[in-house]
Structure 1
Amino acid sequence: MSHIGFLGIVGRVFIWSFLLGLVVVVVYPLLWMVMNGFKTNTELFGNPFALPLDWSWESYVNAWNRGVSGYLAASVLVTVTSTITTVFISAWAAYGLTRVRLPFGGATAGFILGGLMLAPTVALVPLVKMFQSMGLYNTFWALLILYTAFRIPFTTFLIRAYMIDLPREVDEAAEVDGASRWTAFWRIILPMSKPIIISVVILHVLFSWNEYLFAMVFTSGTDMQTLPVGLTSLMSKHGTDYPVVFAGMVIAALPVVVLFFICQRYFVKGLSEGIGK
């Protein structure tokens, strides 16, 4: 065996070992969380790494009945609505920045992208006072506005980077055929931008589904509490049923995991073609 062939084998073994270790690091905590949702408190503290003696769904049922169903519904409502509004506004803004000759177009793009530097924590107190004065505090609209406003700059940046290299001949052909700007955007540019649209949808879903600060501050004590905030109510000062907590965490993570695996091909393609440009 040649020296180069030996190095190739060693390299492949190293890469596969690294990937296997990465799978263990990422997957095992998830499996451990799922497994402990089937245990009792006694089993969990007695041997946290052993398989459950009795694979009972009781903890999952208790978690669902103790409010997780309501928190899940609130998270779905906020996530879906904010994703639709954010992606639509960002795609329309990106189309304007790449396809329409605007006065001070560069400054406009810089102003929008400058929103990436705005830290939500810095604006927290003024936002609370503003929403209280507007009567939107502790409402669904507070989270919808916040999740949309703070994600538009980043989402616009990604979609704009993808749209820049789309062929302009399609716009000219649509204009020759009498299509309006809106028709060209909706019927041509948006379908051509499908990979990056799916990517930003997944990114926004991950953000809004897991966001804690705004959800805690702006929906405290209301029926609009989302999963990250609502799951903390499963913890008790006088004794926590940890299998119920783990079961709630599994229920909260399952929709996002399923969505990612369904759309991962478009997600990787969209980010590689968008950020890489």
Structure 2
Amino acid sequence: MGKNRSAFWAKFFSYLVLGLIAALILIPLLWGVLNSFKTNDEFFKNSLALPKEWMFSNYATAWQSGISDYMLNSFVVTIISVLLICFVASLASYGLSRFQFPFREVIFYSILGGLMVSEYCIIIPLYNMFAAAGLRNTHIALYIAYVTLQTPFSVFLMRSYFLSLSKDIEEAAFIDGCSILGIFFRIVVPICRPIIFSCAIVSAVSVWNEFMFAMVFIDSQSLMTVPLGLQTFQGQYASRWCITLAACVISSLPLLLTFLLAQKQFVRGLAAGSVKE
């Protein structure tokens, strides 16, 4: 009886804490969504009340004012960056987990050292390097910066996942005459899709929301990504917060939908990559 009561209260407080955390996350989001449908007068009179008149035109105004162009740039930058991150990280992780060579562990921990380097420490050297190479105010500068910053964490997760896999299938394929790259692309990559997909989602969120490098490296409005575009958008509609909130909601939808559609694979990949058998 006492054990059942203790289990009940433990579960009750666990759900209570989780509910409070969920409320802290969801209430500001709900506030932003509701206020994006209000008129400016309604917003300043009472930002906590429901809209009296649902202004769907706020979303049309936000879309026509340039948010669509910023989202297109973000899609291009995010997709190319994530593909490069997954390609580089998967090859590096496979080599570090399957082959014995001098200084293998040193190389691995040197890569992990990138997790401890703040972006603020490298932004000035990167700026000078890109300016000298003529890459400033191009998306190529963003690709290089994002791949450099996001690859170490992906290597950490993927290497742990590769180490947990049996080598039997790979050894059999090698005996049958399959090359190392053939084994990697035909056998390892299909098996490791969950962890690759998880790393892709984590990297995509970071790249999509990144602001500092975009602000420093990009000047042309036609090349701006969503975070940088929202800053200029806020200046354009400084007194019309409802339209700015509508733009924020629109810009958050792609990643939200992606995660909702693939959350099972995402969680499974992270869980598998966090432990080593």
**Which TM-score band (shorter chain)?**
over 0.9
2: CA distance, partners of 1:260 / 1:235: 27
2: CA distance, partners of 1:105 / 1:24: 45
Describe the SS at the equivalent of 2:49: coil
2: CA distance, partners of 1:240 / 1:251: 19
| Residues 192 and 231 (structure 1), Cα distance of their counterparts in 2 relative to 1, 3 Å cut | same
Describe the SS at the equivalent of 1:236: helix
Q: Which residue of 2 aligns with 1:223?
A: 222
Higher alpha-carbon deviation: 87-96 or 217-226? 217-226
| Deviation of the 1:160 alpha carbon | 0.7
Describe the SS at the equivalent of 2:151: helix
Q: Which residue of 1 aligns with 2:209?
A: 210
| Deviation of the 1:35 alpha carbon | 1.0
Contact 2:237-2:243 at 8 Å conserved across structures: no
Describe the SS at the equivalent of 1:121: helix
Q: Which residue of 1 aligns with 2:99?
A: 100
Describe the SS at the equivalent of 1:149: helix
| Deviation of the 1:100 alpha carbon | 2.1
Structure 1 residue identity aligned to 2:81: S
| Deviation of the 1:20 alpha carbon | 2.4
User: Any stretches of 5+ residues in structure 2 without a counterpart?
Assistant: none
Question: For residues 145-164 of structure 1, what are the structure 2 equivalents within 5 Å?
Answer: 145-164=144-163
Question: Does 2:193 align with 1:170?
Answer: no
Which whole-Å deviations, capped at 9, do the CAs of 1:181-223 have from their partners, x for residues lacking one? Answer: 1111011111111221111011101110111110110012331
Question: Does 2:130 align with 1:131?
Answer: yes
Contact 2:58-2:242 at 8 Å conserved across structures: yes
Higher alpha-carbon deviation: 85-94 or 254-263? 254-263
Structure 2 residue identity aligned to 1:124: I
Q: Which residue of 1 aligns with 2:178?
A: 179
1: CA distance, partners of 2:109 / 2:171: 27
Instruction: Output the TM-score relative to the length of structure 2.
Output: 0.94
Identity %: 37
How many residue pairs match? The answer is 276
Describe the SS at the equivalent of 1:55: coil
Q: CA RMSD in A?
A: 1.6
Which whole-Å deviations, capped at 9, do the CAs of 1:49-108 have from their partners, x for residues lacking one? Answer: 111111121111111111101110011100000000110111011111111232322222
1: CA distance, partners of 2:151 / 2:125: 20
Which whole-Å deviations, capped at 9, do the CAs of 1:91-136 have from their partners, x for residues lacking one? Answer: 0111111112323222222222222232221111121111111111
Question: For residues 1-277 of structure 1, what are the structure 2 equivalents within 5 Å?
Answer: 2-236=1-235, 239-277=238-276
2: CA distance, partners of 1:24 / 1:268: 22
Describe the SS at the equivalent of 1:167: coil
Structure 2 residue identity aligned to 1:163: F
Higher alpha-carbon deviation: 9-18 or 73-82? 9-18
2: CA distance, partners of 1:183 / 1:237: 53
Contact 2:157-2:195 at 8 Å conserved across structures: yes
Higher alpha-carbon deviation: 137-146 or 12-21? 12-21
Describe the SS at the equivalent of 1:39: coil
User: Any stretches of 5+ residues in structure 1 without a counterpart?
Assistant: none
Structure 2 residue identity aligned to 1:104: F
| Residues 210 and 134 (structure 1), Cα distance of their counterparts in 2 relative to 1, 3 Å cut | same
